[in-house]
Structure 1
């Protein structure tokens, strides 16, 4: 058989009701679709069985992770062209909610031409049953959602894949959150500037006690202690992160000012702290537990103390009850991770008692950060794949590239929310012109 690609193109155009958006190359070396640009390569027939078994994003992702489906050329350009298949939840702008959506399974089966196309696709896919999911997929999760035990498993799935792997992707700073870019900055400079921005927003001064919730590999704790003379307690439930962070603390001679704990934020009981940072951690909390999270941080903060909550947000939907978790992200990247609209986050912080004083949107900054991480992963591909597995490396490549486009196209946002625990009588002790954020180091130490 040397005509698989033309047959697939005809099937795809029938099912999509539109021309094939990208060129495809099948396992028999045949090609079809518009010339020029990136090529979607179906290296093995079983890619079709994965897609048939789980139509949409998860089936495509499983084929990608297993290496059954690859891309030749610009991955970003290809993802842009097939974004309707990868982002299933409708238009980015709620005002466009009336726009046509891809036909669901029931509609496909009602249409005779599409039923025939599905039969043709099944014939091309080869014998069943469908292949097992690639091993990088999250194992079955036990226990109530966002219980301590289940959260530990979810965090371990994402973060405990090897510190050396993350070093290849993130660079020497080992900062795994949105950087703060200026023209011509390197990734390291942009991450330093983000850490310093957080410290200045928190108003850090020598001798303060700071709690870093979800401290990761310790970058913020180290920067705050080194550059601002504060004492920092960093908590994470990733053992590998904590081990790396403690090593960095010891190497820099900061053990008297930085303590790293393997501890759930719900178990921290040695407040009050003068300031609390939560950078890229709240996405793991869960919508049902977010108010409890906000109340826990409020209780740990002294009156007049500041909280800096740095968190990814999704766009609100016309009917929030219809929101569904991203199947690829949930299965392969952040099990049980949940994104909420910015307004929901601000509202929950206020209900917990905080006074929200500033919100800064960094959406474009995260797109730049993700593209920098993708470039590093591609540059160090052989080493990164050897440190984990080729499948795991493909997970991270797809997740980061698709996320970069999500931020660029305003499907995702990321925001720094600065909040204060009010003092009795109402003073916030905030500067009148908050966006100056005081002084602080201006260049990497």
Structure 2
């Protein structure tokens, strides 16, 4: 939980801002769309939107999700329970009910995102520079001691640290790791899996990342272990491995590159090997990417649907297991928020208030996304068709 000084300061700020709530009524189309989710502008519920600057209405109408997020960053509106606001808005699919201008903006965004391949080899490093290189101080403060930046597994855990350890161990067991095996990790982050698997299961790990900051810290954390961390794109990999794992990286691959990604994994995996894919998914195939998330958090990302994954896996891999624990991401994100908010007094000398609001919006909106069940979290265990023997699913 956030320390008392931090909470009191932000509560006082909220009360001061709430006293500035605008009495200007929102346009009818915004009021009616919000009502579908049980949300009011300047209402009394903790999930209602308190507007301080009436210009926010126009930004939301003309720019949709991007205008909604940017006007929050610019302190034009506030909400006591931002996560619950997003849960309600997303559950009701409110964006579908907005008017012509917002729909035109959405259509233009869909065209931009789907005509071009935004995840080419040259562009692959953009998300590293934009998000993962934000600053190791942010992530060290927000994450658990393993530095896992993906969904924890909360089935038997009551703390973030235990949920992340349980997730890492579950992956190791699903992969049936044995001492001396070679493991490729596509998207190794700060080395959480590589460190855990090498230390506890005696495997040799090659981890790759597109973030220089991640590479530096991962190498430090895995020093003395049979772990190699390289700055490279998955399309440049060679060799073969007993096991392959990818945790929270597939979201950056992009639909145009799905065939290349799975062909690469197929080529790199030994005949008797296993490939575990841990990825966020969406409940239904969609052409759009949230423009606010694309601009401020995960550049050039795209979440897959079950339909898209099944189609590209078809004829390439056997699906040995498909495990969904998406509601655990809600808990993980809110735990990250508590850690970040607690650490903010120490971090604030390096980041401004707009960054704080951006990060708050990011974590809470994503928590609402998973709570609404639009967001899923999948672990797929894949094998080559010629692999001998039965695979038994683990939970």
How would you bin the TM-score normalised by the shorter chain? 0.7 to 0.9
Would you say 1:77 and 2:84 are equivalent positions? yes
Change (3 A) 1:427 1:300: closer
2:393 match: 434
Deviations 1:255-284 (A, max 9, x none): xx0001111111111x21000000000110
Give 4+ residue runs of structure 1 displaced > 6 Å after superposition: none
Deviation, 1:146, is 1.3
Shift of residue 313 of structure 1? 0.7
> 2:43, 2:50 within 8 Å by CA — same for their partners in 1?
no
Superposition pairs of residues 347-386 of structure 1, within 5 angstroms: 347-351=311-315, 353-386=316-349
What corresponds to 1:37 in structure 2?
Answer: 46
- Which of the numbers 337, 341, 347 marks the counterpart of 2:305? 341
Please tell me whether the aligned partners of residues 249 and 279 of structure 2 are also in contact (alpha carbons under 8 angstroms).
yes
Which SS does the other structure have where 2:218 is aligned?
helix
Measured in 1, the distance between the counterparts of 2:331 and 2:147 equals 16
Could you tell me whether the CA contact under 8 Å between 1:162 and 1:387 is conserved in 2?
A: no
Residue of structure 2 equivalent to 1:68: 76
Note if contact 1:225-1:232 (Cα within 8 Å) is conserved in structure 2.
yes
Equivalent residues, number: 364
> 3-state SS of the aligned residue for 1:233?
strand
Select between 169-178 and 42-51 the one with higher mean Cα deviation: 42-51
**8 Å Cα contact 1:286/1:338 also seen in 2:** yes
Q: Does 1:105 align with 2:101?
A: yes
For normalisation by structure 2, the TM-score amounts to 0.84
Per the TM alignment, residue 148 of structure 1 is displaced from its structure 2 partner at its CA by 1.7
- The structural deviation recorded for 1:50 is 3.6
Please give the secondary structure, in 2, of the residue aligned with 1:274.
strand
Q: After the TM superposition, which residues 190-229 of structure 1 pair with which residues of structure 2 at under 5 Å, given as runs?
A: 190-229=163-202
Structure 1 pair 3/273, CA: closer, same or farther in 2 (3 Å)? Answer: closer
Question: Once the 2 structures are TM-superposed, how far is the Cα of residue 190 of structure 1 from its aligned partner?
Answer: 0.6
Q: TM-score, normalised by structure 1?
A: 0.75
- What is the CA–CA distance in structure 1 between the aligned matches of 2:127 and 2:380, rounded to whole Å? 25
**Structure 1 partner of 2:370:** 407
Alpha carbons 1:360, 1:415 under 8 Å: kept: yes
Q: How far apart are residue 36 of structure 1 and its match?
A: 4.4
Partner deviation per Cα, 1:306-335 (whole Å, 9 max, x = no partner): 000011111225xx5xx2211111111111
Mapped contact 1:160–1:240 kept (Cα < 8 A): yes
* Aligned counterparts of 1:40 and 1:391: Cα–Cα separation in 2: 18
Of 258, 262, 270, the residue aligned with 2:227 is 258
**Which whole-Å CA distance do the structure 1 matches of 2:253 and 2:325 have between them?**
21
In 2: Cα distance, 1:345 partner to 1:244 partner: 32
Measured in 2, the distance between the counterparts of 1:279 and 1:427 equals 23
| Corresponding position: 1:306 with 2:274 | yes
Structure 1 385/354 Cα, relative in aligned 2: closer, same or farther at 3 Å? farther
Per-residue CA deviations over 1:99-156 (Å, capped at 9, x if unaligned) read xx33333999xxxxxxxxxxxxxxxxxxxxxxxxxxxxxxxxxx95212221211222
Does the CA contact (< 8 Å) of 1:159 and 1:238 recur in 2?
yes
Question: Which stretch shifts more, 363-372 or 204-213?
Answer: 363-372
Stretches of structure 1 that go unaligned for 5 or more consecutive residues are 25-32, 91-100, 109-142, 437-445
- Does the CA contact (< 8 Å) of 2:144 and 2:164 recur in 1? no
Q: What secondary structure does 2:190 align onto?
A: coil
Query: Which residue does the alignment assign to 2:31?
Result: 16
Q: Which moved more, 1:369-378 or 1:220-229?
A: 369-378
8 Å contact 2:61–2:99 — kept in the other structure? Answer: no
| Distance apart, 1:206 and its partner CA | 0.5
1:371 shift after superposition: 1.5
Match for residue 155 of structure 2 among 154, 177, 182:
182
Deviations 1:341-387 (A, max 9, x none): 12321331233x21110000011111111121122222222334444
Contact 1:420 1:428 in 2 (8 A): no
User: 3-state SS of the aligned residue for 1:17?
Assistant: helix
Quick one: structure 1 residues 343 and 50, their matched pair in 2 at CA, closer, same or farther if it must change by over 3 Å?
closer
- CA drift at 1:406: 1.4
Q: In 1, Cα distance between the equivalents of 2:196 and 2:122?
A: 31
Structure with larger RCO (C-alpha < 8 A, sep 6+): 2
1:145-179 per-residue CA deviation (whole Å, 9 max, x = no partner) reads 21222121122201100011011111222101111
Query: Any idea what SS the aligned residue of 1:7 has?
Result: coil
